[in-house]
Structure 1
Amino acid sequence: MEMQNWLLKQAETQPNHIAVDDGNEQLTFAELREQVAELVGKLNQLRPGDKVGLLATNSLMSYKIALAVITSGRSIVWLNWRLADEELQRQIADSGLLVCLVEDSLWRVTMSEPFRKYSTLLNQSTAKASLVATFKADRVASIMYTSGTTGKPKGVLQTFGNHFYSAISSALNLGLSSNDEWLCVAPIFHISGFSIIMRGLIYGITVRLVDKFRVTAIEQILVNEPVTIMSVVPFMLNKLVEQQKISHRSYNKSFRCMLLGGGTISRSTLERCLQSEIPVVQCYGMTETCSQIIALRASDALQKIGSVGQPLFTTQLKLSSKGEILLKTPALTPGYLNLPAKLPSKMVDGWYKTGDIGHLDDDGYLYIDGRVDEMIISGGENIFPQEIEQVYQQYPGIKEVAVTGQNDCEWGQVPVAFLVSDQRYPVTDLINYGRQHLAHYKVPQHYYYVQSLPKNASGKIRRFILQQKLSK
């Protein structure tokens, strides 16, 4: 399948519609096309090959450079600027980059070739270049290294077709209006952020870029600007709900929903959202599927607490005999960079093995129990950290909690908890609380206090780092 270049299509059909807004500057699709064409000409002068690395924040220039890469016929290799030098070098070597463009504010004194500052690109003097006329569905648009919550990151290939089907499925679920404006505060080097950019091009709607999550600033935008959708993780939503309790401010009348990924939220938070007329659409997805593929309608949220919903229109779902979630979707990656055997090893009879364990209720709603590789086996019993975390998250004064397994000579493994809290609690109180809500073998016997939990860009807990702390 071949599609007209999405930017060219929108610039032709609605040239005066606002494509992107960063709070300081707005660009129409026609203006964006012209500026991207200039950047493509400059990019060509650097002779980057068929892939270009990006170390970027959610800035307007990063947005434009990303579009310049894909509309020049190249693939973006998104890199996480939070990584250490050694980690970045491994991913650059793996992807074979000749050029990695770095936002000037992210430049490090340790950087040399193939790193190039944005200013180096912008100082190239050249005429506008033509943009590719079409996007082929099987062409790789972007490469993202998996977040590595449990191990070594892998480069996930994401085609234009993958992004297209992800966007279409999302639109069929959420609905679509020409007046939609999607707030993008999720990092654009992560699929939850970049998918918003791609949807903006496919739908022809406005992307409202925000460089960082600051709760008062985000609330100000939601109150005063015509944002209709915002993608959030539980941490963001909880902060926004807490802020609204203080400010008593209502969001703008056009606001439609919070799209929640990276975990489910508690009944109390949902009820506060309902009282404040903030619809919450919980969803499930991954880098390999270009974002959400399963979602829970806001109208079902209170009746289906803990569920991530039902498969979107183009997604098929079933569970293996061991409860692993299996998927079929045209949004699924065609493979992993330089690892040709990896995707086939994760397929069974045409179904993709997600590595997540879940269960379905009688109505076909999916609940995530945990990761196969995060499951704790204690005395022959299977324990999922998320179930324990949801219980202790309700304990008064506990801000965040993460559970992992610790080796035990008697039981094989036992669950232990890491707590973020300003208080210290008697262990007996914590154990007794757990036994009121959980089977005794699921209750942590040891509790460790930390300043913060190690997380990846999407807010998911990096449990292997906690396990490393236990082994020291």
Structure 2
Amino acid sequence: MIPNWLVQRAYLTPNRLALSFGDEQWTFEQLADQASIIARKLKWNGLNEGDRIALLGRSTPEMVCVIHGCLLAGLEIVMLNSRLSSKEISWQLTDCDASTLLVDDELIDRIKEINTSKLTFSDIESSGTQHVAFTEMWEPSRTITIMYTSGTTGFPKGVRQTAGNHTSSALSSVLNLGLTEDDMWLCTMPLFHISGFSILARSVIYGMGVRLYEKFDAEAIVEEIQRGTVTRISVVATGLHRILEEFEKSGSVAHPSFKTMLAGGGPVPDDYLRRARTHQLPVLQTYGMTETSSQTATLSSEDALRKSGSAGKPLFFNRIKIRDAEQPGDFGEVLVMGPHVTPGYIGHAADRNPLEDGWLPTGDIGYIDEEGYLFIVDRRSDLIISGGENIYPAEIENVLISHPQVAEAGVCGQSHPEWGSVPIAFIVGDKQLTESDLEQYCKGQLAGYKTPKAFHFVDHLPRNASNKLLRRELKEWAEKNKK
């Protein structure tokens, strides 16, 4: 059994700082009080323990309180990506079959055409209350969050994450990173992402404060790190690059109390690691996915350059192996096992077992060296990682092919100095079709970061004898046609 996170934390350390945002601060007791009120208001609106709701919001204190209110009320939370288009959100709502959509008033325009029953944050605020008996102990198998992740077929899968998954992930992380009473995690990652939510989970499990930012602000972040007001932060490579640029402008270094810059979302270039060391920024590269409730492996900062390109070793409770590998260095699919791994999916993928004999096939190709360090060779052959966001080409191709003037479409990633990679499309279609036509068409159905940054019109796409699209050749085309 697992203690109800916030209930237990507010009991243990009620006066410890839990959350700060701008000039505002909340202790764990104050956070629990706010969440309790929201839980009782949700009950008044007919939401009961075990119900599945969807949540669409920004990274604000109000969002944090709503998340904790839902957890106290015993609801399953489908975390919706606020960067998605209305069409994408609608698809996920239909697939997850949530009874109610809780939505930030600032995002209401995004879901006007959606039929799911809605409760805005202001609706919740003005609601009456009804008594709720909070469950003090959670079953480890209890699903508490659901996050959608892209699939190779272009259809996102709703990943179940249990109380046990999140708790074991947090425990593995703290055994690797350590913990002190003055720890403060600067959160600029979206709360709907596993990277953002996992910071909230660690906060209540560890008794650690969170310094919340609604948006990434490199200048403000660097000021916090220099002053010693935060001790840890999670970033993707593009965010690290912006932080380094700010440090280089001033020629300053991190405060001695700053301990960890956890870098995920793809490999960190060696140049970034060397520059980070100059400014006394300990960068720990990490590997994980939505199905593993954040980290599976992490590379220590002292090994960053010695093991350049490595994702490190598995965290304490986790295991990693390479399919069919007979010796160190053999390439193969990366398989993961541990209490942090999802028990399954919902919606259209509910019947799909994510495990093979207890192991999660990640779809990533990698190898483990003679010292046990994991190296990812290709984060899924088709996957595009753009600014830390995962993009599957098939999803974009499905949209493009639905255009009446498009006969064939192939999408791949093209290297980009800021975002790491961006999607590029190759089109076989009507001669009168323009890039502007396709860009507008995609923007109506896809998130901005998924919309191709260039469209190349070709006579044919590279395919093998069985008519399978050869993405390796598409990538070569993309680099040759780079604008």
Place the TM-score, normalised by the shorter chain, in its bin: 0.7 to 0.9
SS of the residue aligned with 1:305? Answer: coil
C-alpha displacement of 1:400: 4.3
What does residue 349 of structure 1 align with?
357
What does residue 40 of structure 1 align with?
39
What does residue 251 of structure 2 align with?
248
C-alpha displacement of 1:390: 12
What does residue 325 of structure 1 align with?
334
C-alpha displacement of 1:373: 4.4
- Establish whether residue 134 from structure 1 lines up as the match of residue 137 from structure 2: yes
SS of the residue aligned with 1:348? Answer: coil
SS of the residue aligned with 1:63? Answer: helix
Q: Percent of counterpart pairs with the same letter?
A: 37
What does residue 191 of structure 1 align with?
194
1:263/1:398 Cα in 2 relative to 1: closer, same or farther (>3 Å)? closer
Instruction: For 1:138-217, list aligned pairs within 5 A.
Output: 138-148=141-151, 151-217=154-220
Is this contact kept in 2: 1:38–1:127, CA < 8 A? no
Is this contact kept in 2: 1:392–1:398, CA < 8 A? no
Is this contact kept in 2: 1:374–1:404, CA < 8 A? no
What does residue 52 of structure 1 align with?
53
Report the TM-score, using the length of structure 2 for normalisation: 0.79
C-alpha displacement of 1:417: 7.6
C-alpha displacement of 1:402: 5.0
Instruction: For 1:402-417, list aligned pairs within 5 A.
Output: 407-408=461-462, 413=470, 415=472
C-alpha displacement of 1:446: 2.2
Instruction: For 1:22-421, list aligned pairs within 5 A.
Output: 22-49=21-48, 50-108=51-109, 109-110=112-113, 113-126=116-129, 129-148=132-151, 151-321=154-324, 323-338=332-347, 339-343=349-353, 346-374=354-382, 400-401=420-421, 407-408=461-462, 413=470, 415=472
Distance (whole Å) between structure 2 residues aligned to residue 301 and residue 150 of structure 1: 35
What does residue 480 of structure 2 align with?
446
Instruction: For 1:449-464, list aligned pairs within 5 A.
Output: 449=483
SS of the residue aligned with 2:8? Answer: helix
Distance (whole Å) between structure 2 residues aligned to residue 402 and residue 324 of structure 1: 24
Distance (whole Å) between structure 1 residues aligned to residue 199 and residue 83 of structure 2: 21
Distance (whole Å) between structure 2 residues aligned to residue 40 and residue 19 of structure 1: 19
1:128/1:17 Cα in 2 relative to 1: closer, same or farther (>3 Å)? farther
Is this contact kept in 2: 1:227–1:252, CA < 8 A? no
Is this contact kept in 2: 1:416–1:446, CA < 8 A? no
Instruction: Give RMSD over aligned pairs.
Output: 2.7
1:292/1:94 Cα in 2 relative to 1: closer, same or farther (>3 Å)? same
1:444/1:210 Cα in 2 relative to 1: closer, same or farther (>3 Å)? closer
Distance (whole Å) between structure 2 residues aligned to residue 243 and residue 398 of structure 1: 15
1:45/1:311 Cα in 2 relative to 1: closer, same or farther (>3 Å)? same
1:320/1:20 Cα in 2 relative to 1: closer, same or farther (>3 Å)? same
Distance (whole Å) between structure 2 residues aligned to residue 68 and residue 302 of structure 1: 43
SS of the residue aligned with 2:345? Answer: coil
SS of the residue aligned with 2:296? Answer: strand
Segment drifting more, 106-115 vs 408-417: 408-417
SS of the residue aligned with 1:342? Answer: coil
Is this contact kept in 1: 2:160–2:344, CA < 8 A? yes
Segment drifting more, 261-270 vs 127-136: 127-136
1:37/1:361 Cα in 2 relative to 1: closer, same or farther (>3 Å)? same
Distance (whole Å) between structure 2 residues aligned to residue 29 and residue 70 of structure 1: 15
Distance (whole Å) between structure 2 residues aligned to residue 188 and residue 269 of structure 1: 26
Distance (whole Å) between structure 1 residues aligned to residue 339 and residue 192 of structure 2: 22
Is this contact kept in 2: 1:52–1:77, CA < 8 A? yes
SS of the residue aligned with 1:107? Answer: helix
Q: Residue type matched to 1:86 in 2?
A: K
Is this contact kept in 2: 1:37–1:130, CA < 8 A? no
Segment drifting more, 179-188 vs 22-31: 22-31
1:16/1:404 Cα in 2 relative to 1: closer, same or farther (>3 Å)? same
C-alpha displacement of 1:24: 2.6
Q: Deviations over 1:268-325 (max 9, x none)?
A: 1111111111000100001011000101000000101111001111111110126000
Is this contact kept in 2: 1:166–1:292, CA < 8 A? yes
1:257/1:77 Cα in 2 relative to 1: closer, same or farther (>3 Å)? same
1:166/1:210 Cα in 2 relative to 1: closer, same or farther (>3 Å)? same
What are the ranges of 5 or more consecutive residues in structure 1 without an aligned counterpart? 377-384, 419-441, 450-472
1:405/1:177 Cα in 2 relative to 1: closer, same or farther (>3 Å)? same
Q: Residue type matched to 1:134 in 2?
A: M
1:54/1:375 Cα in 2 relative to 1: closer, same or farther (>3 Å)? closer
